[in-house]
Chain A
């Protein structure tokens, strides 16, 4: 008995010790999620015999025997691959590498990369037109769809997409391409978010329409039925304009689907949540060949939702008024929830619709669902480390919604793919309508403490621990190990490559002029600029913050204090809206609108040209 007790104590200590340990930078570098396969998207070969798995963590495409799950081949691609698709004739597989800004072209007969083409900024999905002439690539940072010549890879043009353009779907007849985007399009401060489905004519390679998605921020995959009459898009419907106080009935988010097409008439947003149970982060969508079922993966809730299409259409036609926030509605058309692995993302139906494959990104498995029985009949385990590291556990915690009340949302709801959401929020603890805050990027956070715009949280453990547990989750707290793992994961998040920097560190003429302005100590009238009013004083060091708080004159009447934590400058070009409350829609507005008295740096002596130069320099940070 004593021996068993000692064993239990030893095991407990082994589990708890890592939680108390503060990881060093060296360890962070050594322990990486890239060791794991992290399957994100799936494809089946035209004959259905081979399952292609895009393994984002491993930077590989794995080719499996679709029946047995046995690995047949592994093809290395670029960094952080995010999307892939076959050429129209199936002879090539295109993979977009989001951190390399490239497309890997794979010969599917030989399973080798034959070409690597340049793409736009952070390519996230790729599709070739039916004619095999043009390649369309959604660029998340570029906010556009780049068009390449499908034979040579030469860029032909870029089409304006939504902000954070990421996912593409071609209609069955190839006549229309649908593009979605993960960040909302810009709107005036404290107005409802809006998104769109960008509709492209592939033959002309031009945007022909934009389907408005009001109130939506975060749109993921789109599916179109084979007859072209029904489309669905998975999306997030945030409630960021009201205080996060009322936890019932869709507190911070409603997880929804926009249904569109001839079967529906006008696009309709339908809820996927239930009255007391939520299905967070709807990501992948698929429509059965006979259109009888719609399948949705929920990255935060580890399940697949099954919708009876006939019931859905009947309900929509019977309810002409908007009902996206009526969570009782889902009971009328959702017929099953099927549990799968951790963080299910891309889903894929077999040609006959009898099987649904699900990529479970955070446990390196593929769930195979028998669609008739509506249950998992096979789980394919991908080649990956056997043990689950602390970093991996942290990532799992980041992406799950299980800690929040009724499983409503997780960290990744607001930090989409571990970034941000481009929204402003009214967090209740500061008072209703008080301290409106813009979300911030969470990459490369070491050396940027404290956290929160008021600098109240000295460490990530405080930021992610009591604050998150109390204000966001409401129902459940992290245990010490879970919190330590989560902090480890967030601290590990690297800054994405800066597209405005040259490879050799040199600056363009405009960037150099801007750099001189950033570091100037004397204004254009020859007067010394007080130290605290020089850009480089507050925004000092490699991260662009001296980690102190100041009143720079940007406080508003809804702020409890005008003293604001100095934000870091990394990737500043990408993260608008700006200022603590998101009141500045662009970098320019920080100075053209919100700095009338030079409190936020001496800038009013600058000409418009010089302000542009300063911004060009900031974009390199």
Chain B
């Protein structure tokens, strides 16, 4: 009986070790793996747009793909790229503010929602309607994030979360008084028919259940301790910056690493044990349950569920660089001729196999090669 128990414990330990190994690709076990060819990761030819070729400003906060049209939220207006030409909407056209921080597309109507430093604007068939904290129920004019789901527009502001019902015009505000939110600096939002997620700077991840109307909060189990004691026990850090909810999985960006939550298990990413080029992540965009793109201060990164790729101007030379890190932790340099316009990545969107990237020094179009 005793022998059976000991055997059972040993088997469990082996299984646990095996599971941990699978969950943490950068273990010593992987480091000892034999050298092999870099896994195939998407290759792009980057075409970059700046003021030199039509953008109203090089500082691009956000990018949105709308079929063949590309919207870029810049520090000096909202730019639309259509038929090879840039057109810029400014406050003279009714835009709430020149600095456009966030963008969202209502896929049903084709309307574009722009969060700015001075309110929220809707661009519909060329007409711009603007909502501010003075002329509407918007909680604050600094709109960091926006997401559309059904008749509702969900907004992340410097004074909490809001929801505009476009049918009734009703504004609902969510803040420290009616949610578990501690800080109210909402940075990002991702809405779906079942759940709405907010990345709230200092309050972790807020979850709104659309069916029950109940809010829940996911915080870093290590609290404000900057040392990660319990890596996959919860959100990596409470200073969250961006969230992407796709296929029932939440991808969360923070300034101290990133998280993946499938509703049951957390999996976190840090530079020390993944291919993430920097823990300081501005934006995150999930492709599906397993794949996501990360916009950091040190380049653009892609995770395919096993391997990582980083696209950037090299940190030392500034020359175009692509690196691939396999599951074993081996990093391979891939020869490339182009890279995103800058390493400081602020926005990401997809156009079929192509990718568009908003950076601090231009907008980049990654044209998929293979």
Say how far A166's CB is from chain B's closest CB, in angstroms.
Answer: 17
> What is the chain B residue whose CB lies nearest that of A185?
B127
Question: How far apart sit A246 and B315, CA to CA, in the bound complex (Å)?
Answer: 72
Sample of 22 A–B contacts (CB below 8 Å): A156-B108, A157-B109, A158-B109, A160-B122, A196-B127, A198-B125, A206-B110, A207-B110, A207-B125, A210-B124, A210-B125, A510-B172, A585-B135, A588-B135, A589-B134, A607-B177, A608-B139, A608-B159, A609-B177, A609-B178, A612-B173, A619-B169
Contacts of A500 in B (CB 8 A): 168
Say how far B364's CB is from chain A's closest CB, in angstroms.
Answer: 28
Contacts of B136 in A (CB 8 A): 586, 588
Contacts of A160 in B (CB 8 A): 109, 111, 122, 124-125, 127, 129, 166
Indicate with 1 or 0, residue by residue over A578-610, a CB within 8 angstroms of chain B CB atoms.
Answer: 000000011011001100000000000001110
B167 on the interface (CB 8 Å rule)?
A: yes
Say how far B25's CB is from chain A's closest CB, in angstroms.
Answer: 43
> Which parts of B133-164 form the interface with A (CB within 8 Å)?
133-137, 139, 151, 159
Q: Which of A196, A500, A586 has the most CB of B within 10 A?
A: A586
B215 on the interface (CB 8 Å rule)?
A: no
Contacts of B159 in A (CB 8 A): 608
Contacts of B122 in A (CB 8 A): 160
Closest 4 pairs (CB-CB, A-B): A207-B125, A206-B110, A157-B108, A612-B137
Question: How far apart sit A361 and B137, CA to CA, in the bound complex (Å)?
Answer: 41
Contacts of A609 in B (CB 8 A): 139, 173, 175, 177-178
A159 on the interface (CB 8 Å rule)?
A: yes
* Residue tally, chain B, CB below 8 Å to A: 29
A615 on the interface (CB 8 Å rule)?
A: yes
> What is the chain A residue whose CB lies nearest that of B139?
A608
Say how far A620's CB is from chain B's closest CB, in angstroms.
Answer: 11
> What is the chain B residue whose CB lies nearest that of A158?
B167
- Chain B residues with a Cβ under 8 A of chain A: 108-111, 122, 124-127, 129, 133-137, 139, 151, 159, 166-173, 175, 177-178
CB within 8 Å for A159 and B109 given contacts A588-B135, A608-B137: yes
Q: Is B126's CB under 8 angstroms from A586's CB?
A: no
Q: Is A142's CB under 8 angstroms from B167's CB?
A: yes
A430 on the interface (CB 8 Å rule)?
A: no
* Residue tally, chain A, CB below 8 Å to B: 34
Question: How far apart sit A351 and B135, CA to CA, in the bound complex (Å)?
Answer: 49
Say how far B321's CB is from chain A's closest CB, in angstroms.
Answer: 41
Contacts of B126 in A (CB 8 A): 209-210
Q: Is A586's CB under 8 angstroms from B135's CB?
A: yes
Question: How far apart sit A199 and B125, CA to CA, in the bound complex (Å)?
Answer: 8
Q: Is B134's CB under 8 angstroms from A612's CB?
A: no
Say how far B128's CB is from chain A's closest CB, in angstroms.
Answer: 10
> Which parts of A257-294 form the interface with B (CB within 8 Å)?
none
Contacts of B133 in A (CB 8 A): 592, 608
CB within 8 Å for A210 and B109 given contacts A510-B172, A608-B159: no
> What is the chain B residue whose CB lies nearest that of A199?
B125
> What is the chain B residue whose CB lies nearest that of A592?
B134
Say how far B264's CB is from chain A's closest CB, in angstroms.
Answer: 32
Question: How far apart sit A185 and B94, CA to CA, in the bound complex (Å)?
Answer: 13
Contacts of B166 in A (CB 8 A): 158, 160
Question: How far apart sit A207 and B129, CA to CA, in the bound complex (Å)?
Answer: 14
Indicate with 1 or 0, residue by residue over A183-207, a CB within 8 angstroms of chain B CB atoms.
Answer: 0010000000000101100001011
A302 on the interface (CB 8 Å rule)?
A: no
Say how far B112's CB is from chain A's closest CB, in angstroms.
Answer: 11
Among B110, B111, B167, point to the contact of A204 (Cβ < 8 A): B110
A208 on the interface (CB 8 Å rule)?
A: yes
Contacts of A209 in B (CB 8 A): 125-126
Contacts of A510 in B (CB 8 A): 170, 172
Question: How far apart sit A510 and B125, CA to CA, in the bound complex (Å)?
Answer: 32
Contacts of A573 in B (CB 8 A): 169
A421 on the interface (CB 8 Å rule)?
A: no
Indicate with 1 or 0, residue by residue over A237-250, a CB within 8 angstroms of chain B CB atoms.
Answer: 00000000000000
A485 on the interface (CB 8 Å rule)?
A: no
Contacts of B134 in A (CB 8 A): 588-589, 592-593
Question: How far apart sit A11 and B169, CA to CA, in the bound complex (Å)?
Answer: 56
> What is the chain A residue whose CB lies nearest that of B138?
A608
A122 on the interface (CB 8 Å rule)?
A: no
Q: Which of B108, B122, B125, B151 has the most CB of A within 10 A?
A: B125
A616 on the interface (CB 8 Å rule)?
A: yes
Contacts of B137 in A (CB 8 A): 588, 608, 611-612, 615
Indicate with 1 or 0, residue by residue over A10-41, a CB within 8 angstroms of chain B CB atoms.
Answer: 00000000000000000000000000000000
Indicate with 1 or 0, residue by residue over A286-318, a CB within 8 angstroms of chain B CB atoms.
Answer: 000000000000000000000000000000000
Contacts of A607 in B (CB 8 A): 177
Beyond the given A158-B166, A158-B167, A209-B125, please list 4 additional residue pairs across the A-B interface where CB-CB is below 8 A: A210-B126, A585-B135, A608-B137, A609-B173
Contacts of B111 in A (CB 8 A): 160, 207
Q: Is A207's CB under 8 angstroms from B124's CB?
A: yes
Q: Is B170's CB under 8 angstroms from A207's CB?
A: no
> What is the chain B residue whose CB lies nearest that of A585?
B135
Q: Is B135's CB under 8 angstroms from A210's CB?
A: no
Question: How far apart sit A24 and B124, CA to CA, in the bound complex (Å)?
Answer: 49
Among A120, A207, A589, A612, point to the contact of B135 (Cβ < 8 A): A589
Contacts of B167 in A (CB 8 A): 120, 142, 158
Contacts of A616 in B (CB 8 A): 170
Say how far B36's CB is from chain A's closest CB, in angstroms.
Answer: 48
> What is the chain B residue whose CB lies nearest that of A160?
B124
Say how far A388's CB is from chain B's closest CB, in angstroms.
Answer: 41
> What is the chain A residue whose CB lies nearest that of B125?
A207
Indicate with 1 or 0, residue by residue over A322-336, a CB within 8 angstroms of chain B CB atoms.
Answer: 000000000000000
Q: Is A206's CB under 8 angstroms from B109's CB?
A: yes
Question: How far apart sit A144 and B133, CA to CA, in the bound complex (Å)?
Answer: 23
Say how far B248's CB is from chain A's closest CB, in angstroms.
Answer: 24
Contacts of A586 in B (CB 8 A): 135-136
Say how far A127's CB is from chain B's closest CB, in angstroms.
Answer: 18
> Which parts of A123-149 form the interface with B (CB within 8 Å)?
142
Question: How far apart sit A573 and B175, CA to CA, in the bound complex (Å)?
Answer: 26
Contacts of B171 in A (CB 8 A): 612
Question: How far apart sit A210 and B127, CA to CA, in the bound complex (Å)?
Answer: 7
Contacts of A619 in B (CB 8 A): 169
> What is the chain A residue whose CB lies nearest that of B134?
A592
Contacts of B135 in A (CB 8 A): 585-586, 588-589, 592
Question: How far apart sit A615 and B173, CA to CA, in the bound complex (Å)?
Answer: 13
Question: How far apart sit A267 and B117, CA to CA, in the bound complex (Å)?
Answer: 35
Question: How far apart sit A588 and B130, CA to CA, in the bound complex (Å)?
Answer: 14
Contacts of A207 in B (CB 8 A): 109-111, 124-125
Question: How far apart sit A484 and B139, CA to CA, in the bound complex (Å)?
Answer: 50
Question: How far apart sit A615 and B168, CA to CA, in the bound complex (Å)?
Answer: 12
Question: How far apart sit A586 and B133, CA to CA, in the bound complex (Å)?
Answer: 11
Contacts of B175 in A (CB 8 A): 609
Contacts of A199 in B (CB 8 A): 125
Say how far B7's CB is from chain A's closest CB, in angstroms.
Answer: 59
> What is the chain B residue whose CB lies nearest that of A204?
B110
> What is the chain B residue whose CB lies nearest that of A157?
B108
> What is the chain B residue whose CB lies nearest that of A500?
B168
Question: How far apart sit A344 and B110, CA to CA, in the bound complex (Å)?
Answer: 38
Question: How far apart sit A19 and B349, CA to CA, in the bound complex (Å)?
Answer: 71
Say how far B150's CB is from chain A's closest CB, in angstroms.
Answer: 9
Contacts of A120 in B (CB 8 A): 167
> What is the chain A residue whose CB lies nearest that of B122?
A160
> What is the chain A residue whose CB lies nearest that of B213?
A509
Say how far B14's CB is from chain A's closest CB, in angstroms.
Answer: 55
Question: How far apart sit A206 and B151, CA to CA, in the bound complex (Å)?
Answer: 15
Indicate with 1 or 0, residue by residue over A90-123, a CB within 8 angstroms of chain B CB atoms.
Answer: 0000000000000000000000000000001000
Question: How far apart sit A593 and B135, CA to CA, in the bound complex (Å)?
Answer: 8
Question: How far apart sit A206 and B172, CA to CA, in the bound complex (Å)?
Answer: 27
Question: How far apart sit A589 and B110, CA to CA, in the bound complex (Å)?
Answer: 29
Question: How far apart sit A607 and B171, CA to CA, in the bound complex (Å)?
Answer: 14
Contacts of A615 in B (CB 8 A): 137
Say how far B325's CB is from chain A's closest CB, in angstroms.
Answer: 42
Contacts of B172 in A (CB 8 A): 510, 612
